[in-house]
Structure 1
Amino acid sequence: GAGHMGNTHGAILQELKGVRVLGVVDKDRQRAQELAEFLQAKPYPDLPPLLARKPDAVWVTTPNTLHTRAVLAALAAGAHVFSEKPMATNLAEAKRIFAAAKKSKRLYQLGFNRRFAPVYVRLRELIAGKLIQPHSLHVKMNRGELLHPSWVGDPKITGGFLYESTIHLLDLVRWLFGDVASLLALAKRGVYEELDDFSVLLKFRSGVQAAFTSCAHTSWIFPFERLEVFGEHAAAETAEMDEIRFTTGLQQKVLMEEFRTLPVPEKWGYLQEDLAFLNAITKKKPSPVTALDGLRATQLVQAIYRSAKTGKWIAPTKL
């Protein structure tokens, strides 16, 4: 895929020592040619000719519903796979990838970049260090529009708004607070033809509870993404990938740490996730974002859609 994320990862890989990009695959030959020239690589209209060259690793950066075919082909060819989110756009395909990754003995990593963004790494440090012991939280994950790129508003390509955007924060809260025991969702069509407005209550196995809102028609007003975590007379709140504010007690000052001046690939965690993937390959370490993480995120999305349809509490891990 030679779109936005293909260019993002390609630019990072080009700068890393010990990495050589062999080829770029895109059915749009002009886009493949342009990115391939930039990376000093060879363009291809389809994946099999590139896999025939036996690459060590493949980055899958296609639109969402095309992930499964590319991932399964790359794993079958013996390549390690970095796949942009989502893992797949339904549970059946996610389970196929999960099984294939396990059978292949190759590294599979999913592109949940928020886990690597410094603002969320700092939040996790506060929680792990018990400076903030969470009881509840509010999560906001919005998108300004479903207009650009042109396919982003087509659920036949994206799998739906939750798969295109919201899944990032669904994975993030699981990374921070553990598995979700059950959830209850409301959803409606606000502006677009698909469900684009969600309100979700989450109960975590850890005892933490959350209110989660996500909609696709807000404009890009800052911050389109925010976590507010509430502890025992302590709290933390983030504003996109730019800053975190927190206080650890009633008599403590409110502190702020900023990340807004970092280069975008570092601020958003793209650089760190690519480095982590390559490090796991070369040092034979486990993937930092596993196929199980991808499966759990898919279950969360499916549980929200099912709860919104039935009006019932749903246990995601039982799907």
Structure 2
Amino acid sequence: MDKVRIGVVGSGFIGQVHLEILSTFPDVEIVGVMDVDKNRAKTVAERFNAKVFDNLKQMKDAGVNAVYITSPNRTHFDYAMQTLELGMNVFCEKPMTISLKDAIELEKKVKEKNLIFQVGHNRRFASVYKFMKQKILDGSVKPLSFQIKMNRGELLNPPWTSDRNYTGGFLFESTIHLFDMVRWLLGEVEEMYVLGKKSVYPDIDDWAIVMKLKNGLIGTFTSCAHASWMIPFERVEVYGEHNMLMNEEMERVHFCKGLGKEVESHDFTKVDFKEKWGYIEENKLFVECVKQRATPPITVSDGVAVIRIIDACYRAVESGNAHVKLEG
């Protein structure tokens, strides 16, 4: 395959981020875009010298072999299932689905069709988290416990972000990324004690979670949806034996080497956000996987695993049984 022919479903902010990156790849042809907002679709399509499509069948007929799904959360499952049924590969922005049932059904469909399906958990390719992962892999820090925070300043802009029917719930927004970070950096979750409440918005907007991982690590995970935009709103702290790793969003990462020793710090504030947030690398890897028919770095099964954690959190609060054990 000389070029991967790509169609994009959803031409909002994140769709345009992916289009900007893909337009710089010599082995990619942007064929067209699709959006319920026809005017925006036309404007974006013109910007990237692409067509406007009304449906996925038109994309298939135009020779598209890989579709980016960057539409609102609640639409991901239906678009993904249709795309796979038509025989096209998929890059699906997070959340892959907004229910565990749909996630499991989607996983079955991917395996049935034997197509490439990558989930957009871009944090795995962000500079700060790659640094932390490497320090864990090379034994510089052997994790014993952890503390994670992922806050949002508000659920006012856009207004639908507080509507669980639209988003799946607050945990399916940015918070989902750090559930994925728990798995990628530290290990699989075995059990949790989960507390959540509605403080400001109609959705559950305050969460406090204690986690135990299958490898014995323990840690805390908190998330608030009304915290203003005080920074850092996102932080992972990993504690070893008198050493630790800690990030400040995607901007900085710190490695405390031990008692009485220096702290190694890296500052990425001047790096273009598409690179430091991992978007460029995740796109390169997806395109390469489509060309080589290779397993993507973040699979549909990874998507199921993180949604299983979120599903358990909501079940714990809604049932009043705070202690949950994860299955599967």
TM-score range, shorter chain: over 0.9
- The answer (yes or no) to whether the contact 1:27–1:46 under 8 Å persists in 2 is no
SS in 1 for 2:265: strand
2:68 partner letter? W
- State how 1:210-221 maps to structure 2 within 5 Å: 210-221=219-230
| Alpha-carbon shift at residue 54 of structure 1 (Å) | 3.3
AA partner of residue 62 (structure 1): S
* Corresponding position of 1:234: 243
**1:15 counterpart residue number:** 24
| Per-residue deviation, 1:150 | 3.0
Deviations 1:295-315 (A, max 9, x none): 001100001111223233212
Residue deviations 1:42-93 (CA, integer Å, cap 9, x gap): 1123333223323110000011110011111111111110000011111111
Q: Matched residue of 2:193: which SS?
A: strand
Task: Give 2:190's aligned residue.
Answer: 181
- Specify the code of the residue in structure 1 equivalent to 2:192: L
Task: State the alpha-carbon separation in 2 of the partners of residues 239 and 308 from structure 1.
Answer: 29
Kindly indicate whether the alpha-carbon contact (under 8 Å) linking 2:188 and 2:214 is maintained by their aligned counterparts in 1.
Answer: yes
Which letter maps to 1:125? Q
SS of structure 2 residue aligned to 1:140: strand
CA distance in 2, matches of 1:252, 1:311: 44
Match of 2:97 among 88, 92, 111: 88
Q: 1:1-319 residue pairs with structure 2 within 5 A?
A: 1-309=10-318, 310-318=320-328
**1: CA distance between counterparts of 2:170 and 2:109?**
26
Deviation at 1:261, TM superposition (A): 1.3
User: 3-state SS of the aligned residue for 1:223?
Assistant: coil
Q: Shift of residue 124 of structure 1?
A: 0.3
Letter in 1 for 2:312: A
**Structure 2 residue matching 1:152: 3-state secondary structure:** helix
Q: Deviations over 1:185-219 (max 9, x none)?
A: 10011111110110001100111111000011111
* Contact persistence 1:241–1:268 (CA under 8 A): yes
Greater than 4 Å deviation, 4+ residue runs:
none
The TM-score, its normalising length taken from structure 1, stands at: 0.97
**Code of the aligned partner of 1:32:** A
Alpha-carbon distance change, 89 to 140 in structure 1, aligned in 2, over 3 angstroms? same
Quick check: 1:184–1:308 contact (8 Å CA) kept in 2?
no
In percent, how many aligned pairs have the same letter?
Answer: 38
User: Are the aligned partners of 1:54 and 1:79 in contact in 2 as well (CA < 8 Å)?
Assistant: no
Looking at structure 2, the residues matched to 296 and 157 of structure 1 have their Cα atoms a distance apart, in angstroms, of 21
Q: Is the 8 A contact 2:190 2:214 kept in 1?
A: yes
In 1, the alpha carbon distance for the partners of 2:135 and 2:294 equals: 26
TM-aligned CA deviation for residue 282 of structure 1? 1.6
How far the C-alpha of 1:114 sits from its partner, in A, is 0.3
Contact 2:195–2:322 under 8 Å retained in 1: no
Instruction: Give the gaps of 5 or more residues in structure 1.
Output: none
Matches of 2:159 and 2:323, distance apart in 1 = 34
Instruction: Indicate the RMSD between aligned Cα atoms, in angstroms.
Output: 1.1
Question: How far 1:220 moved relative to its partner?
Answer: 1.2
What are the superposed Cα offsets for residues 127-161 of structure 1, whole Å, 9 maximum, x if unpaired?
11111111111100011111222322211110000
- On the 8 A contact 1:183/1:307 being kept in 2, the answer is no
CA contact (8 A) 1:58 1:74 kept: yes
Q: Matched residues in 2 for 1:97 and 1:196: separation?
A: 28
Matched to 2:314, the amino acid is: Y
CA distance in 1, matches of 2:211, 2:21: 36
After TM superposition, the score normalised by the length of structure 2 is 0.95
Aligned partner letter, 1:311: N
Q: CA deviation at 1:227?
A: 0.6
